[in-house]
Amino acid sequence: PSPPEKAMVCFGNMFIELPKAKTREMLQQDQEELDEEINKLRKELRVKVNRLYEAQGKPELKGFNLNPMSAEEMKLINRILEG
């Protein structure tokens, strides 16, 4: 049997049947928005932690301003390490 062309999506407490392409597009858009929000919160956290350390008279954390590697960068590193 061929796979169904629609997917069931849960919105709150109800399920709605939508085309798979539309569902995929909605999920990708939501994921992009979540990724942007996470990155924004990470940047704000760094500033807040630095202010907290400054208020406590402690030196700034070293290496705290590093950014995580992207999935593509991790693949390249793994390829290099594997030889």
pLDDT in tens, 10-58: 989 999 999 999 999 999 999 999 999 998 998 898 889 889 988 999 8
pTM over 0.85: no
How far apart, in whole angstroms, are the C-alpha atoms of residue 9 and residue 27? 10
The per-residue pLDDT for range 45-65, each reduced to its tens digit, is 888 988 998 899 988 877 777
How far apart, in whole angstroms, are the C-alpha atoms of residue 79 and residue 83? 6
State the total domains in the chain. Answer: 1
Helix-strand-coil percent breakdown of the chain, rounded to 5? 60, 15, 30
- Residues spanned by the domain of 26: 4-80
